[in-house]
Each structure stands twice: as C-alpha cells, then as structure tokens.
Amino acid sequence: MSQEQTRRTHVNSSADDSYWTALFRLEESLAADDLGNGTAAAGALPLELAEPLPVEALAPDEVAAPAPADPWETAQLYMAADRMLQLKVIGFNKGGLLVAWNNIQGFVPASQLIDFPQFHVPRERLQALAGWRDRVLTLKIIEVNKANSRLILSERATLVAAEQREVLLHIVRPGEERDGVVTNLTDFGAFVDLGGVEGLIHISEISWSRVVHPSLVLTPGQSVRVKVLSVDQGAERVALSMKRLRSDPWLNVEERYKPGQLVRGVVGNITTYGAFVVLEEELEGLIHISELAEGLFMHPRDVVHTGEEVTARVLSVDGRHKRLALSLRGVAGGMAPAPAQP
C-alpha cells in the first residue's frame, strides 16, 4: 500500500474538522431519537435480518482478495482502494438509508444519493426514503470510524474515479473561483460538482442575507460560480462559498442607514415574530411584530405580504452583528427616497 493510501485509511476523530462534520451530523441528527440507543428507526429492518449481498454481487474486478478478519480494517482497505460495493438497502431513517456489509451497519446520507428529490416536509421525506428499501445500490465507502461504529457510504462517489478526484483536488486552491453545477440540496447547504469533485456550500455561505433553506435560492442542475474556501485532500472535502464572490453589504451599513431615516424595501420572508424587508441585494432589515402596526392582529401576514413594497423607518443599525431594525408604525404611506447606494 502506498504512503498516500496509508494516510487515507487512517481514520480517527481528530480528522473530522467542525465544518465538514456538520455535513453528516446535521442529517444524522434528524434521526437522533431513532438511533440514539442503537436501534433502527421506524421503517428499518432489524440488523440481524439483513445480510450483505454475496460476493457474486460485486463486479468481477472488484472482488477483494482474502481480507483481514476485522471488518473495520477491511472497510478501510476498500475505502483506500476506492472499491465499489453493491449493497441492499435494509432500512431507513430521517437522515438517509441503512445498509449492511460484513456484519456492520452502514449509513448512506440522503445527500449522497443520486437524484434524490428535495423534501421539506419530514413525512414526505420519510415516504420517499421508504421507497428505496430493498433496492441494490452501488456505493463507495467514504468514512470509517471504528471507535464510533461509523461507516458512511456514498452513491455519488461512484460517479467519478478516485484518480480523477485526486488530480482535481491537487489543482483546486483556496481563494480561487470556479464554475460548478448544483447536484443536491440539504437543510444545511448545497453540493456542487466542480467537474469530478463535489464541494459543499454551507447554508451560511450562500448569501449575505438570511437563507431559510437552500432550495429557496438554488435548484439542482443550476450552474453557479463559487469561491473555494478550503481543500482537505486527505478527506476529499472542499468547502465553497457563493456570498464571498460579492462584497459584504453590511460593511459601512451604519454610514448608509441612520435611525429615523425612511427607507423603501420589499417584504421578503415573513415569520411569526415579524417580517424581513429587502433594502439592498442581500441586505435585509427586520420589522418586529410589535412594530408592524397599531392594534391587535394574529400574524404578521395579516399586515404585510411577501413581495409587497413598503416604506419603513429605521430604528437601529448594528453592522457588527448584522442587524437592522425597522418599523411601520406611524409611517405614512407613499414612496420614500431610496438610500444612497455604496
């Protein structure tokens, strides 16, 4: 085994940086109640009822020589060799699919499935995942952690050969800009294919403004321009950003907006506690529910509607914490002069 392969097979908790660990942890946290005691989630088959496929299920050139007795060592060898496995889905949970291999239960995050639809309603997501049960998937092992009984597999990783990924990982540099295609969306971000390697745009890196869900900004198959934040060649992980291609609109915001100033904007997201108003591209102010109108009303939607143009008064500006408070109370109708643009 080469020095590079040896390095790739060495897996421990210290190798997980806080950024990329969120990729799996956020999805797995959806199923924390189900898996916290080591049991399978609703809809999942008991592990003892699920047997791995026989060797014949593997392609002829992917049948390994006699492997070490420890299945975790075998898993590390398979990951280092970039081998593909054909495994049957034995169950599912809110985060993805469950498979069994060499008496180890593996997890395939929904974000690592090819062409998995986007669902925001948990019930619909579970119904979709249930439809994958008993399917045979071609997978690659992308993470092994014996100490935490953690075996993560990916269907997406089978699309590109390891050699091609390694070449691209050595070319990609932090700070450079690249074009890519959105391949999948999750609650915590968007995956982007850079031409052989998938990077992750964390939800906080999509826009300078508040993003409720990546699907409200991006769609699978969309071409995007991104900035590379970091590259972990050993773990084959690339962190990306869209917002850093543009200047931060919160810089010098206190010079453009002053308390008492009347501003014009368009109502964006409406929540139970108020309404966000877009004042500039990727810069929003919040009208708290107490500042929407006089009198009693049940919900902010009873006062304003998404897409509606409003004139509001600036209450306070805090550029450091990216907060801009607005009010509609006592503001006469009509159009106010737009604030000076930076």
Q: Which residues contact 145 (CB under 8 A, 6 or more apart)?
A: 11, 12, 13, 151
Quick one: pLDDT at residue 325?
Answer: 96
Quick one: pLDDT at residue 142?
Answer: 83
The residue type of 74 is T
The CATH class that applies to domain 162-245 reads mainly beta
Quick one: pLDDT at residue 315?
Answer: 96
Can 3-159 and 162-245 be said to share one CATH topology? yes
In this structure, the strands spanning 283-288 and 323-327 are: parallel
What tokens were used for 24? 């799996």
Winning range, highest mean pLDDT, from 38-42, 120-124, 149-153, 229-233: 149-153
Please give the average per-residue pLDDT across 275-300, as a whole number.
Answer: 91
Helix (H, G, I), strand (E, B) or coil at 282: coil
In this structure, the strands spanning 198-202 and 237-241 are: parallel
pLDDT (tens digit, 9 = 90+) per residue, 86-144? 999 999 888 889 999 988 999 998 878 887 766 666 777 788 888 888 999 999 898 88
Is the CA virtual torsion 303, 306, 26, 7 positive or negative?
Answer: negative
For residue 224, report the phi and psi dihedrals to the nearest 5 degrees.
-135, 155
- pLDDT band at 169, cuts 50/70/90? confident
Quick one: pLDDT at residue 314?
Answer: 96
Please give the average per-residue pLDDT across 242-259, as a whole number.
Answer: 92
pLDDT (tens digit, 9 = 90+) per residue, 15-41? 333 334 444 444 444 444 333 333 333
31-40, 79-88, 292-301: range with lowest mean pLDDT: 31-40
Winning range, highest mean pLDDT, from 65-69, 106-110, 183-187, 222-226: 222-226
The C-alpha atoms of residue 239 and residue 105 are separated, in whole angstroms, by 28
Computed over every residue of the chain, the mean pLDDT equals 76
Evaluate whether the domain defined by 3-159 bears CATH number 1.10.10.10.
no
Burial (CB count <10 Å: 0-12, 13-18, 19+), residue 187: middle
Quick one: pLDDT at residue 118?
Answer: 65
**Please, are residues 86 and 56 in contact by the beta-carbon 8 Å criterion?**
no
- Selected from 3.20.20.70, 2.40.50.140, 1.20.120.140, 3.30.930.10, the CATH number assigned to the domain covering 253-327 reads 2.40.50.140
The residue type of 106 is G
Residue 253 CA: distances (Å) to CA of 54, 79, 291, 322 = 63, 49, 21, 9
Quick one: pLDDT at residue 259?
Answer: 95
Spell out the domain ranges in the chain.
3-159, 162-245, 253-327
Answer yes or no: pTM beyond 0.85: no
Quick one: pLDDT at residue 163?
Answer: 61
Which of 81, 86, 113, 116 has the alpha carbon at shortest distance from 99? 86
> Residue 44 pLDDT more than 80?
no
- pLDDT band at 228, cuts 50/70/90? very high
Share of the chain above pLDDT 70, in %: 73
Q: Quick one: which H or E segment has residue 86?
A: strand 84-93
For the residues of 90-125, what is the DSSP string, one character each?
A: EEEETTEEEEEETTEEEEEEGGGSTTPPP--SHHHH
> Residue 161 pLDDT more than 70?
no
Please give the average per-residue pLDDT across 198-207, as a whole number.
Answer: 90
> Residue 324 pLDDT more than 80?
yes
Which of 288, 264, 263, 265 has the alpha carbon at shortest distance from 275? 288
